[in-house]
Chains A and B, each alone.
Chain A
Amino acid sequence: MIYNAGSYDVIVIGGGHAGCEAALASARMGCETLMITLSMENIANMPCNPSIGGPAKAQLVREMDALGGEMAINVDQSAIQMRVINTGKGPAVQAIRAQADKHEYHNKMLKTLLNQPRLKIVMAEAEEIETRGGAVSAIITRTGARFSCRAVVITSGTYLKGRIIIGEIAYDGGPGNQFPAIKLSDSLRRLGLQLGRFKTGTPPRIYRRSVDFSKMIEQPGDDLPLRFSYMSPRVTRTQHSCWLTHTTPATHKIVMDNLDRAPMFTGIITGIGPRYCPSFEDKVVHFAHKDSHQIFIEPEGRDTEEMYIQGLNTSLPEDVQVKVLKSIPGLENVAIIRTGYAIEYDYLPPAQLRSSLETRQVEGLFTAGQINGTSGYEEAAAQGLIAGINAALKIQDQEPLILKRSEAFIGVLIDDLVTGDIDEPYRLLTSRAEYRLLLRQDNADLRLTEKGRKIGLVDDERWRVYNEKKTRLEHDIGVLKKQTYTPADLDMSNFLESKDSADLKDRISLWELLRRPEIRIKDYTEMGWLNQEDEDILEQLEIQAKYEGYIKKQEEQVRRFEKMEGKLIPADIDYDEVFGLSNEARHKFKQIKPESIGQASRVFGISPADINVLLIYLEKKRRK
């Protein structure tokens, strides 16, 4: 019996990382919002490695933070270790990575959600998306509740027709042995959306006290006051170490001897898995020449006994998993808490989406996160944030927020999804960004806070902090550019000599001098030439001065690229009418429906001639 259970502006289905951001953004932007989740315990769950950040992902977290997202603050409060990855490889790729306390992360996020005005959570299985005139009108749950709404964000993760596989055993289930969401897939299909099947996996979890750490190498965190959010206080936290060990030839032999029982190879698993997160059995087979692989033992929390085994994703039978673990130095007496498993799930090939993450098929229906074929908490959260924002903007009758590839990693991520042929779970990489040097984790606030403010997600306090930083930064740049020295200046000569730096040839500003690798911004504050203590500002000054040449080069490229991005293709274009288009281009364009000439030119297999033909068609249309 279906009954009316209330009316909302936006309904978010799912409480994972995408769902949390979507729900918070929508509610904070003034929409009455409902989150429907299968289980309260799984809000902001980390069924894989409880780690956030790293190259490209840290940039995402910072970008979300600048826009008013929650992930950065939440991880800052629940991190048990933070490190900087890629130090010395340049500011564009430097990235914070945090190890979070899985339970604390969940608890903190749950609390934030529960305390958020205009947001309600209900535990239920969403079964049916009801539409009226091609637009969403309500969600109906398995138990008959009908929640009417004007927009829906589906963030179902790996739950859609989820199927767990461990060796010869397979059963329907969501991650961490939860219930799967079975009916929603069919509802999506009935709405004319296409679904595909992907696979991913996790390693076993073990008891801390069953590990012999004396046989492993300790990996401590950085004792620096690191933080993701621009709003978090700088604290030095107690660092919990990770531990490094490795597999042995004996481990590999166990795998090889049991391949006939490995679902990856027996054909039980048909979904496509990610290459960057292969199962251990895959690694052993494909890199047969390697007789050892790294294994990291990572705590899942501050007080928990549970340890995560990074490097050992597997769907081998449970008895084989035990043998494999025991062959690894330090794990001879291991006791397993959770068995590793593979999970297959339905995803929605994202070429069916607009850049706003709204499906082209159904008005008001947005999807975000793993359902869009991505992997990773950060990728999911970033999409959730954008989908939530755009659902709210839609209800407010405003233009969607679409970030450009040259503005944010979030823009790269979403543009890749909607224009690409995603044939494996998508993970963001810094190498996917054309303008990596502009999209740094250190300048995410400078890039995006104003946009966040405009849509109403950046609160007064964040806005004040941002403006203060910006003003001080501009002031200091002025100081460094104005202050110049000649070769005759004695103070300067002495300083240069002490730094083993060449004498001046001409008059030079402190800003220009900073380009020399051996000259650091801290030297200036020590010399009393610059009065600034804020670490963020000092870092920003140094990067902007040292990399000015490269940054300018990339900005120039962006200007050229933007011309093409600005040329929009009307949504109702009929590609059959475009005379002179090659068949391949016609087919691809119909499928992907690029929104701009820039997007069209990124579609794989499109020639410059096709783009020219399209330009001419649009011009002809315009003149009519």
Chain B
Amino acid sequence: MYDDIAAISTPPGEGGIAIIRLSGSGVIEKASKIFKPRRSEIDIRQKEGYSMTLGWIINAEGEAIDEVLLALMRAPRSYTGEDVVEIHCHGGILPARRCLETVMRQGVRIAEPGEFTRRAFLNGRLDASQAEAVIEIIRAKSDKSMQLALKQLGGRNSEYIHTLEDRLLELNAMVEGSLDFPEEVGELEYDRAEAIIRELIDIIEQLIRAGKRADVYREGITIVICGKPNVGKSSLLNTLVRKDRAIVTSIPGTTRDVIEEQIIIKGIPVWLMDTAGIHVTSDVVEKIGVEKSQEVIREADLVLFLLDAEEGITDDDLEIYRSIENQNLIILVNKEDLEEKNITSREINQHFPGLKVIKVSAKEEQGIEELEDSIEEMVLGGELQSDDLEIMINLRHREALLRAYQHLQDALQELDQVTLDCLGVDVWGALEALGEITGKNLREEVIDRMFQDFCIGK
């Protein structure tokens, strides 16, 4: 009956678990495309209602985004009365958002405020006496999200959005003017149209990038230190945290559990994790520690991979590297203070081509500055603008911006390939997507703009 919707249904920043709830007739099918069950023989499409399945949410490349518990409820026996899938992420809000974005890519849209409750009501899952309560929820949620959206539209954001809107209106007015008033407006000025589309694409790219950077400041990142036993991981944690947090000894296998500390690096909140040295072991406790290390490594935003300068690159190192080479990586050559060095830059290039490599000494606190700079650069992706911090884009806005972006890319492709009426579909689509952010009556605005820009009339 209705289309498929999704939302993160736990408040952000609370607890380690975030739940993404999906509802609609297509959600089980769509979830099956992005969910890889731990037991590969399971097909969630065959599952009964009220079942739970352990597995991973995977992206388009088949890589795991987060380990999750997937709960499935079938219509009409669910909260909304439709098929419902709940994805319980335990990596906190960041992986949860990534999961949600993956879900959205399957053609599931973000729910409006209170939409789950509304569906529950309309599908007869709540009785009539609850109608008022449902409306309270809808009103409260949408008013709150309006306030939030308004706040977010203040400052630099509104300037960007204003420019976007202005150019899109101009572009639409050019196209529509040429179609509706061909004699007065004449042919579309293709050069001008192309320039506007390129400018728009550029602004949206900047906004999305800045938004991502702002997310990093707001929500923080996880960095995991990994490497073979005794390479100096705990020492590095202590150095970065600037206190003796982890036990440091010369005995390999000292650290057995994941140690987590929160620090600020260049203004970015960082959850820093020290892990048990990865190697083959028969010690039961150590073994659990190693498995756990591997798990946190998979979920990390950034991995610091330590090598021992004195020992040189060993087979163990290369084995570990193979298991983490798809992650965001910085290679640290530790114990740089020691006399004897057995790692050449040739070797590094050969084994870890194209990666950032920094020579450090965890003990003597050498190279730490460079490490911090590199971390900042890695997570923010290069150039940083001072006004980034003011740019906050919520997921709904981002979705709208991405849709506008896609339409503009299509329009650019089509520009002189298709007839103007078809081009109009994408140019209009871009404006409509933006309209979801600004909430204006766009048809009238375009018509107003047409009369403002062109001398129309017989």
Give the complex CA separation of A615 and B123 in angstroms: 12
Contact B180 A579 (CB under 8 A): no
Contact B421 A89 (CB under 8 A): yes
Cβ < 8 Å to B, chain A residues 133-192: none
User: Which B residue's beta carbon lies closest to that of A219?
Assistant: B183
Contacts of A294 in B (CB 8 A): 183-184
A237–chain B nearest beta-carbon distance, Å: 22
A484 within 8 A of B: no
Contacts of A617 in B (CB 8 A): 131
A467 within 8 A of B: no
Contact-size category for A: 35 or more
Contacts of A86 in B (CB 8 A): 179, 182
Give the complex CA separation of A286 and B452 in angstroms: 9
Q: What 0/1 readout, one digit per residue, does chain A (583-624) give for beta carbons within 8 Å of chain B?
A: 000000000000000000000110111001101110110011
Contacts of B142 in A (CB 8 A): 607-609
Question: Given contacts A89-B420, A430-B179, are A613 and B139 in contact (CB under 8 A)?
Answer: yes
Q: What 0/1 readout, one digit per residue, does chain A (85-115) give for beta carbons within 8 Å of chain B?
A: 1101111110000000000000000000000
Contact A431 B447 (CB under 8 A): yes
Question: Given contacts A431-B443, A580-B136, A616-B135, are A55 and B422 in contact (CB under 8 A)?
Answer: no
Give the complex CA separation of A132 and B183 in angstroms: 51
B439–chain A nearest beta-carbon distance, Å: 8
B348 within 8 A of A: no
B190 within 8 A of A: no
Give the complex CA separation of A56 and B112 in angstroms: 35
Give the complex CA separation of A85 and B132 in angstroms: 55
Contacts of B112 in A (CB 8 A): 608-609, 612
Contact B113 A609 (CB under 8 A): yes
Cβ < 8 Å to A, chain B residues 411-458: 417-422, 424-425, 439, 441, 443-444, 446-447, 450-451, 455-458
B176 within 8 A of A: yes
Give the complex CA separation of A607 and B145 in angstroms: 12
Give the complex CA separation of A119 and B181 in angstroms: 38
Which of A37-45, A271-279, A347-355 touches B?
Answer: A271-279
B268 within 8 A of A: no
Contact A560 B419 (CB under 8 A): no
Contacts of A296 in B (CB 8 A): 458
A79 within 8 A of B: no
Of the candidates B1, B113, B114, B419, which one forms a contact with A90 in the assembled complex, judged by CB atoms under 8 Å apart? B419
Of the candidates B128, B132, B183, B424, which one forms a contact with A436 in the assembled complex, judged by CB atoms under 8 Å apart? B424
B134 within 8 A of A: yes
Contact B425 A609 (CB under 8 A): no
Interface centre among B180, B418, B446, B456 (most CB of A within 10 A): B180
Contact B420 A431 (CB under 8 A): no
Give the complex CA separation of A286 and B456 in angstroms: 11
Give the complex CA separation of A290 and B453 in angstroms: 12
A181–chain B nearest beta-carbon distance, Å: 26
Give the complex CA separation of A623 and B126 in angstroms: 12
Of the candidates A290, A436, A580, which one forms a contact with B421 in the assembled complex, judged by CB atoms under 8 Å apart? A436
B235 within 8 A of A: no
Give the complex CA separation of A290 and B455 in angstroms: 9
Contact B458 A612 (CB under 8 A): no
User: Which A residue's beta carbon lies closest to that of B446?
Assistant: A431
A547 within 8 A of B: yes
Of the candidates B3, B121, B184, which one forms a contact with A560 in the assembled complex, judged by CB atoms under 8 Å apart? B3
Q: What 0/1 readout, one digit per residue, does chain B (112-154) give for beta carbons within 8 Å of chain A?
A: 1111001001100000100110111011001100100000000
B178 within 8 A of A: yes
Contact B176 A90 (CB under 8 A): no
B320–chain A nearest beta-carbon distance, Å: 46
Give the complex CA separation of A88 and B420 in angstroms: 8
Cβ < 8 Å to B, chain A residues 275-314: 275-278, 283, 286-287, 290, 293-294, 296, 310-311, 313
Give the complex CA separation of A430 and B443 in angstroms: 11
A187–chain B nearest beta-carbon distance, Å: 33
A432 within 8 A of B: yes
A256 within 8 A of B: no
Give the complex CA separation of A329 and B422 in angstroms: 40
Of the candidates A55, A277, A620, which one forms a contact with B180 in the assembled complex, judged by CB atoms under 8 Å apart? A55
Give the complex CA separation of A519 and B435 in angstroms: 38
Contacts of A287 in B (CB 8 A): 455
Give the complex CA separation of A554 and B112 in angstroms: 23
Contact A553 B180 (CB under 8 A): no
Contact A623 B128 (CB under 8 A): yes
Of the candidates B138, B180, B458, which one forms a contact with A430 in the assembled complex, judged by CB atoms under 8 Å apart? B180
Contacts of B456 in A (CB 8 A): 275-276, 278
Contacts of A605 in B (CB 8 A): 441
Contacts of B136 in A (CB 8 A): 580
Give the complex CA separation of A619 and B118 in angstroms: 10
Question: Given contacts A90-B420, A429-B180, are A612 and B114 in contact (CB under 8 A)?
Answer: yes
User: Which B residue's beta carbon lies closest to that of A617?
Assistant: B131
A383 within 8 A of B: no
Cβ < 8 Å to A, chain B residues 226-253: none
A78–chain B nearest beta-carbon distance, Å: 20
Give the complex CA separation of A579 and B135 in angstroms: 8
Q: What 0/1 readout, one digit per residue, does chain B (353-395) give for beta carbons within 8 Å of chain A?
A: 0000000000000000000000000000000000000000000
Give the complex CA separation of A608 and B5 in angstroms: 15
A611–chain B nearest beta-carbon distance, Å: 9
Give the complex CA separation of A560 and B425 in angstroms: 17
B125–chain A nearest beta-carbon distance, Å: 12
Sampled A-B contacts (12; CB under 8 Å): A88-B419, A93-B180, A276-B451, A296-B458, A311-B457, A311-B458, A560-B3, A608-B142, A609-B114, A612-B112, A615-B122, A616-B122
* 7 tightest Cβ-Cβ pairs between the two chains A and B: A90-B419, A90-B421, A580-B135, A92-B421, A609-B142, A431-B176, A89-B420
Q: Which A residues form the contact surface with B (CB < 8 A)?
A: 49, 55-56, 85-86, 88-93, 275-278, 283, 286-287, 290, 293-294, 296, 310-311, 313, 429-432, 436-437, 517, 547, 550, 553-554, 560, 563, 579-580, 604-605, 607-609, 612-613, 615-617, 619-620, 623-624
